[in-house]
Amino acid sequence: MKIAFLFPGQGTQAPGMCKDIYDKYTQAQEVYKKASDIIGVDVAKLCFSSSAEELNLTANTQISILITSLAICKVLENYGIKPDICTGLSLGEYTALIEGGYIGFDNGVKLVKNRGDIMQSCDFGDEYKMAAVIGLESSKIEEICKKVDGFVVPANYNYSMQTVISGYKDSVSKASDLLKQAGAKRVIELNTAGPFHTEKLKDASEKLKNYIHNEEFKKGDIEVLKNIDATPYKEDDDFRSILSAHMINPVRMDKIIDKLNNENVDLYVEVGPGHTLSGFVKKQLKNANVINIDSVEAIEKLVDLVKEN
Protein backbone atom coordinates (compact mmCIF):
# COMPACT_ATOMS: atom_id res chain seq x y z
CA MET A 1 0.00 0.00 0.00
CA LYS A 2 1.44 3.35 -1.08
CA ILE A 3 0.98 5.97 1.65
CA ALA A 4 1.16 9.76 1.32
CA PHE A 5 1.51 12.00 4.37
CA LEU A 6 -0.04 15.47 4.04
CA PHE A 7 0.90 18.09 6.62
CA PRO A 8 -1.41 21.01 7.48
CA GLY A 9 -0.52 24.68 7.47
CA GLN A 10 -1.49 27.67 9.52
CA GLY A 11 -5.17 27.97 10.43
CA THR A 12 -5.73 24.44 11.73
CA GLN A 13 -4.51 25.23 15.25
CA ALA A 14 -6.70 25.09 18.36
CA PRO A 15 -5.83 25.11 22.07
CA GLY A 16 -5.46 21.54 23.31
CA MET A 17 -4.96 20.12 19.82
CA CYS A 18 -3.95 16.45 19.81
CA LYS A 19 -3.37 16.45 23.58
CA ASP A 20 -4.62 12.88 23.97
CA ILE A 21 -1.74 11.78 21.73
CA TYR A 22 0.75 13.67 23.90
CA ASP A 23 -0.73 12.18 27.06
CA LYS A 24 -0.59 8.58 25.82
CA TYR A 25 2.66 8.30 23.89
CA THR A 26 6.13 8.92 25.32
CA GLN A 27 7.43 9.19 21.74
CA ALA A 28 5.28 12.30 21.26
CA GLN A 29 6.31 13.78 24.60
CA GLU A 30 9.96 13.41 23.63
CA VAL A 31 9.43 15.40 20.42
CA TYR A 32 7.80 18.29 22.31
CA LYS A 33 10.58 18.24 24.92
CA LYS A 34 13.34 18.20 22.33
CA ALA A 35 11.80 21.09 20.39
CA SER A 36 11.29 23.10 23.58
CA ASP A 37 14.95 22.67 24.50
CA ILE A 38 16.04 23.83 21.03
CA ILE A 39 14.04 27.09 20.93
CA GLY A 40 13.66 27.83 24.65
CA VAL A 41 9.86 27.78 24.49
CA ASP A 42 7.62 25.24 26.24
CA VAL A 43 5.85 23.96 23.12
CA ALA A 44 3.56 21.59 25.03
CA LYS A 45 2.37 24.45 27.22
CA LEU A 46 1.89 26.61 24.14
CA CYS A 47 -0.23 23.93 22.42
CA PHE A 48 -2.29 22.78 25.39
CA SER A 49 -2.53 25.68 27.86
CA SER A 50 -2.39 28.90 25.87
CA SER A 51 -5.41 30.96 24.87
CA ALA A 52 -6.65 30.93 21.29
CA GLU A 53 -5.42 34.50 20.93
CA GLU A 54 -1.89 33.54 21.99
CA LEU A 55 -1.81 30.39 19.88
CA ASN A 56 -3.05 32.31 16.83
CA LEU A 57 0.02 34.54 16.80
CA THR A 58 1.95 33.47 13.71
CA ALA A 59 5.19 32.98 15.63
CA ASN A 60 3.39 30.55 17.96
CA THR A 61 1.10 28.91 15.41
CA GLN A 62 3.79 27.73 13.04
CA ILE A 63 6.03 26.04 15.60
CA SER A 64 3.01 24.51 17.37
CA ILE A 65 1.58 22.88 14.25
CA LEU A 66 5.02 21.73 13.13
CA ILE A 67 5.79 19.96 16.41
CA THR A 68 2.29 18.49 16.69
CA SER A 69 2.63 16.91 13.25
CA LEU A 70 6.18 15.67 13.85
CA ALA A 71 5.20 14.17 17.21
CA ILE A 72 2.45 12.18 15.48
CA CYS A 73 4.96 11.05 12.85
CA LYS A 74 7.21 9.71 15.60
CA VAL A 75 4.32 7.75 17.10
CA LEU A 76 3.39 6.31 13.70
CA GLU A 77 7.02 5.41 13.07
CA ASN A 78 7.00 3.42 16.29
CA TYR A 79 4.18 1.38 14.76
CA GLY A 80 6.24 0.90 11.60
CA ILE A 81 4.21 3.37 9.55
CA LYS A 82 6.23 5.70 7.30
CA PRO A 83 5.13 7.55 4.16
CA ASP A 84 6.25 6.69 0.66
CA ILE A 85 5.71 10.30 -0.36
CA CYS A 86 4.81 13.45 1.54
CA THR A 87 3.87 17.07 1.11
CA GLY A 88 2.23 19.89 3.03
CA LEU A 89 0.40 23.16 2.67
CA SER A 90 2.59 26.24 3.18
CA LEU A 91 4.12 25.69 6.64
CA GLY A 92 3.38 21.98 6.11
CA GLU A 93 6.06 21.81 3.43
CA TYR A 94 8.67 22.33 6.15
CA THR A 95 7.16 19.48 8.14
CA ALA A 96 7.41 17.32 5.02
CA LEU A 97 11.05 18.26 4.47
CA ILE A 98 11.93 17.32 8.05
CA GLU A 99 9.98 14.06 7.88
CA GLY A 100 11.52 13.35 4.47
CA GLY A 101 15.05 13.74 5.81
CA TYR A 102 16.05 16.86 3.85
CA ILE A 103 16.31 19.07 6.95
CA GLY A 104 17.51 17.81 10.33
CA PHE A 105 15.08 18.10 13.23
CA ASP A 106 17.12 20.67 15.17
CA ASN A 107 17.73 22.94 12.20
CA GLY A 108 14.17 22.50 10.96
CA VAL A 109 12.69 23.58 14.29
CA LYS A 110 14.94 26.66 14.37
CA LEU A 111 14.08 27.47 10.76
CA VAL A 112 10.33 27.30 11.31
CA LYS A 113 10.57 29.34 14.51
CA ASN A 114 12.50 31.99 12.60
CA ARG A 115 10.04 31.89 9.70
CA GLY A 116 7.14 32.43 12.09
CA ASP A 117 8.95 35.34 13.76
CA ILE A 118 9.70 36.94 10.38
CA MET A 119 6.12 36.64 9.19
CA GLN A 120 4.70 37.95 12.46
CA SER A 121 6.98 40.99 12.23
CA CYS A 122 5.31 42.02 8.96
CA ASP A 123 2.99 44.94 9.64
CA PHE A 124 0.07 44.55 7.24
CA GLY A 125 -2.36 46.65 9.28
CA ASP A 126 -5.91 46.21 8.00
CA GLU A 127 -5.01 46.84 4.37
CA TYR A 128 -5.47 43.30 3.05
CA LYS A 129 -7.89 40.41 3.12
CA MET A 130 -8.26 36.92 1.67
CA ALA A 131 -11.29 35.08 0.32
CA ALA A 132 -11.97 31.49 -0.76
CA VAL A 133 -13.67 31.15 -4.13
CA ILE A 134 -15.64 27.91 -4.49
CA GLY A 135 -17.12 26.38 -7.62
CA LEU A 136 -15.20 28.24 -10.31
CA GLU A 137 -12.22 27.14 -12.42
CA SER A 138 -8.91 28.67 -11.40
CA SER A 139 -8.24 29.92 -14.93
CA LYS A 140 -11.42 32.03 -14.77
CA ILE A 141 -10.41 33.35 -11.34
CA GLU A 142 -6.99 34.37 -12.68
CA GLU A 143 -8.64 36.13 -15.60
CA ILE A 144 -11.03 38.12 -13.40
CA CYS A 145 -8.35 39.11 -10.89
CA LYS A 146 -6.31 40.65 -13.71
CA LYS A 147 -9.26 42.87 -14.64
CA VAL A 148 -9.63 44.37 -11.16
CA ASP A 149 -7.95 47.65 -10.27
CA GLY A 150 -5.47 47.46 -7.42
CA PHE A 151 -3.84 44.31 -6.11
CA VAL A 152 -5.63 40.96 -6.00
CA VAL A 153 -4.18 37.58 -7.01
CA PRO A 154 -4.71 33.85 -6.41
CA ALA A 155 -2.70 32.77 -3.36
CA ASN A 156 -3.79 29.18 -2.66
CA TYR A 157 -5.06 26.76 -5.29
CA ASN A 158 -6.60 24.37 -2.77
CA TYR A 159 -8.25 21.93 -5.17
CA SER A 160 -9.63 22.07 -8.68
CA MET A 161 -12.71 24.10 -7.73
CA GLN A 162 -11.50 26.14 -4.76
CA THR A 163 -8.97 28.95 -4.94
CA VAL A 164 -8.08 31.54 -2.31
CA ILE A 165 -7.52 35.09 -3.53
CA SER A 166 -5.56 37.72 -1.63
CA GLY A 167 -5.02 41.45 -1.98
CA TYR A 168 -6.14 44.91 -0.98
CA LYS A 169 -9.52 44.92 0.73
CA ASP A 170 -11.31 46.91 -1.96
CA SER A 171 -9.75 44.86 -4.75
CA VAL A 172 -10.73 41.56 -3.14
CA SER A 173 -14.29 42.87 -2.65
CA LYS A 174 -14.53 43.94 -6.30
CA ALA A 175 -13.11 40.62 -7.48
CA SER A 176 -15.54 38.75 -5.23
CA ASP A 177 -18.52 40.48 -6.84
CA LEU A 178 -17.24 39.71 -10.35
CA LEU A 179 -16.50 36.09 -9.43
CA LYS A 180 -20.04 35.59 -8.15
CA GLN A 181 -21.39 37.08 -11.38
CA ALA A 182 -19.14 34.67 -13.31
CA GLY A 183 -20.70 31.67 -11.59
CA ALA A 184 -18.79 31.06 -8.36
CA LYS A 185 -21.00 29.11 -5.96
CA ARG A 186 -19.64 30.94 -2.93
CA VAL A 187 -16.98 33.49 -2.03
CA ILE A 188 -16.06 33.29 1.66
CA GLU A 189 -13.99 35.97 3.36
CA LEU A 190 -11.29 34.36 5.51
CA ASN A 191 -10.27 35.32 9.01
CA THR A 192 -6.77 36.41 8.04
CA ALA A 193 -5.46 39.78 7.00
CA GLY A 194 -2.00 39.04 5.61
CA PRO A 195 -1.32 38.82 1.85
CA PHE A 196 0.35 35.43 2.30
CA HIS A 197 1.93 33.72 -0.72
CA THR A 198 1.98 36.92 -2.75
CA GLU A 199 4.65 39.40 -3.79
CA LYS A 200 3.71 41.58 -0.80
CA LEU A 201 5.87 39.31 1.38
CA LYS A 202 8.99 40.02 -0.67
CA ASP A 203 10.85 41.64 2.25
CA ALA A 204 9.99 38.71 4.51
CA SER A 205 11.09 36.32 1.78
CA GLU A 206 14.49 38.05 1.57
CA LYS A 207 14.91 37.88 5.35
CA LEU A 208 14.19 34.17 5.29
CA LYS A 209 16.60 33.68 2.40
CA ASN A 210 19.34 35.41 4.36
CA TYR A 211 18.58 33.34 7.46
CA ILE A 212 18.90 30.03 5.62
CA HIS A 213 22.04 31.14 3.75
CA ASN A 214 24.22 28.60 5.56
CA GLU A 215 21.53 25.97 6.14
CA GLU A 216 22.65 22.45 5.40
CA PHE A 217 20.20 20.36 3.37
CA LYS A 218 20.63 16.63 2.96
CA LYS A 219 19.63 13.96 0.50
CA GLY A 220 16.21 12.91 1.70
CA ASP A 221 14.95 9.35 1.85
CA ILE A 222 11.27 10.14 1.14
CA GLU A 223 9.93 11.98 -1.90
CA VAL A 224 8.60 15.46 -1.04
CA LEU A 225 6.47 17.52 -3.43
CA LYS A 226 6.95 21.29 -3.66
CA ASN A 227 4.13 23.77 -3.12
CA ILE A 228 5.20 26.02 -5.98
CA ASP A 229 4.87 23.47 -8.81
CA ALA A 230 4.14 19.99 -7.35
CA THR A 231 7.48 18.62 -8.56
CA PRO A 232 9.65 16.50 -6.22
CA TYR A 233 12.60 18.00 -4.40
CA LYS A 234 15.95 16.83 -5.79
CA GLU A 235 19.30 16.56 -4.07
CA ASP A 236 20.83 19.32 -6.20
CA ASP A 237 17.92 21.77 -5.77
CA ASP A 238 18.64 25.27 -4.48
CA PHE A 239 16.59 24.87 -1.31
CA ARG A 240 17.41 28.41 -0.19
CA SER A 241 15.86 29.94 -3.30
CA ILE A 242 12.92 27.52 -3.39
CA LEU A 243 11.89 28.14 0.23
CA SER A 244 12.17 31.91 -0.11
CA ALA A 245 10.18 31.80 -3.36
CA HIS A 246 7.67 29.56 -1.60
CA MET A 247 6.72 32.49 0.64
CA ILE A 248 5.77 34.81 -2.25
CA ASN A 249 4.26 32.33 -4.73
CA PRO A 250 0.85 30.64 -4.64
CA VAL A 251 0.45 27.17 -3.15
CA ARG A 252 -0.48 24.66 -5.86
CA MET A 253 -2.23 22.04 -3.76
CA ASP A 254 -4.48 21.28 -6.74
CA LYS A 255 -1.46 20.17 -8.78
CA ILE A 256 -0.05 18.27 -5.80
CA ILE A 257 -3.27 16.26 -5.42
CA ASP A 258 -3.22 15.42 -9.13
CA LYS A 259 0.45 14.40 -8.85
CA LEU A 260 -0.28 12.13 -5.88
CA ASN A 261 -3.14 10.56 -7.79
CA ASN A 262 -0.85 9.95 -10.78
CA GLU A 263 1.68 8.40 -8.39
CA ASN A 264 -1.01 5.79 -7.54
CA VAL A 265 -1.23 6.67 -3.85
CA ASP A 266 -3.51 4.20 -2.05
CA LEU A 267 -3.94 6.05 1.24
CA TYR A 268 -3.82 9.78 1.98
CA VAL A 269 -2.95 10.49 5.62
CA GLU A 270 -3.33 14.04 6.95
CA VAL A 271 -0.94 14.22 9.90
CA GLY A 272 -1.75 16.95 12.40
CA PRO A 273 -4.63 19.08 13.62
CA GLY A 274 -7.72 19.67 11.53
CA HIS A 275 -9.27 18.13 8.44
CA THR A 276 -8.40 20.78 5.84
CA LEU A 277 -6.22 18.75 3.49
CA SER A 278 -8.39 15.67 3.87
CA GLY A 279 -11.27 17.79 2.63
CA PHE A 280 -9.31 19.05 -0.36
CA VAL A 281 -8.36 15.53 -1.42
CA LYS A 282 -11.93 14.25 -1.05
CA LYS A 283 -13.26 17.14 -3.13
CA GLN A 284 -10.80 16.59 -5.95
CA LEU A 285 -10.59 12.77 -5.83
CA LYS A 286 -14.04 11.44 -5.04
CA ASN A 287 -12.91 7.84 -4.44
CA ALA A 288 -9.71 8.55 -2.52
CA ASN A 289 -8.99 6.65 0.69
CA VAL A 290 -8.35 9.44 3.21
CA ILE A 291 -7.76 9.56 6.96
CA ASN A 292 -6.72 12.44 9.22
CA ILE A 293 -4.62 11.73 12.30
CA ASP A 294 -5.32 14.12 15.16
CA SER A 295 -6.30 11.75 18.00
CA VAL A 296 -5.37 8.46 19.63
CA GLU A 297 -8.49 6.90 18.11
CA ALA A 298 -7.37 7.94 14.62
CA ILE A 299 -3.89 6.49 15.19
CA GLU A 300 -5.37 3.17 16.26
CA LYS A 301 -7.66 3.17 13.24
CA LEU A 302 -4.71 3.77 10.91
CA VAL A 303 -2.64 1.04 12.54
CA ASP A 304 -5.48 -1.45 12.03
CA LEU A 305 -5.95 -0.29 8.44
CA VAL A 306 -2.27 -0.76 7.59
CA LYS A 307 -2.23 -4.22 9.22
CA GLU A 308 -5.20 -5.28 7.08
CA ASN A 309 -3.39 -4.24 3.92
Catalytic residues, which ones? 90, 197
Closest by CA to 276, choosing from 155, 133, 131, 158, is 158
For residue 205, count other CB atoms closer than 10 A to its CB.
20
The gap from C-alpha 305 to its chain's centroid, in whole angstroms, comes to 25
Q: Cβ(234)–Cβ(100) under 8 Å?
A: no
Sheet holding 267-271, edge to edge: 223-224, 85-88, 3-7, 267-271, 290-293
Report phi then psi at 57, rounded to 5: -65, 130
Closest by CA to 87, choosing from 268, 224, 197, is 224
C-alpha span between 186 and 131 (Å, rounded):
10
C-alpha span between 141 and 136 (Å, rounded):
7
C-alpha span between 121 and 124 (Å, rounded):
9
